[in-house]
Amino acid sequence: MTQPKAGMIRWWGLGIFVVLVAAIGLLWLLVVDGLVKAKIEEEGTAAVGAKVELDAADLTLFPTGLTLTRLQVTNPDEPMTNLVEIARLTMNLDGLQLLGRKVIIDEMQVDGVQFGTARATSGAIDDRARGGEHHVPVPADIVTAARRPASSYQADV
């Protein structure tokens, strides 16, 4: 008959687990938000055909959500003007659907929306950055709306 082991916990195994969880948490804090920001800027620029810039992205797990700070989308026809500038965009996402590669936004809040704002630097990109393809033209009604003063818009509540 064998004797049961005195300790029920393998301390070295617990130590490795704690180190792994801490490393994953540190990686999340240092890298994930930057990757999300870079991907939004890259894909947005490719879609619009002009620079899409973002000051910060904050991806959270509990609750699952994404906050974008100072999103600027350049007007491809007027590179010194933004089509839209958003001070803060906050989304609550369905975490279970994300596991299945589906993005379901449960709730979204958009603050500080401005159209037709001036840029400090040009938002034009060269054809190499576009992949040699032409951008999707901006519909005339969006450009017209971007030129209207913000006071002319009414919120439907």
Q: What is the pLDDT of residues 116-154, one digit of tens each?
A: 999 999 999 986 455 545 455 555 666 566 666 655 655
DSSP state of 77: T
**What is the reported pTM?**
0.70
Q: CA-CA distance, 151 to 157, in Å (whole number)?
A: 16
pLDDT in tens, 72-101: 999 999 999 999 999 999 999 998 888 898
* Sign of the CA dihedral with 138 first, then 156, 54, and 46 last: negative
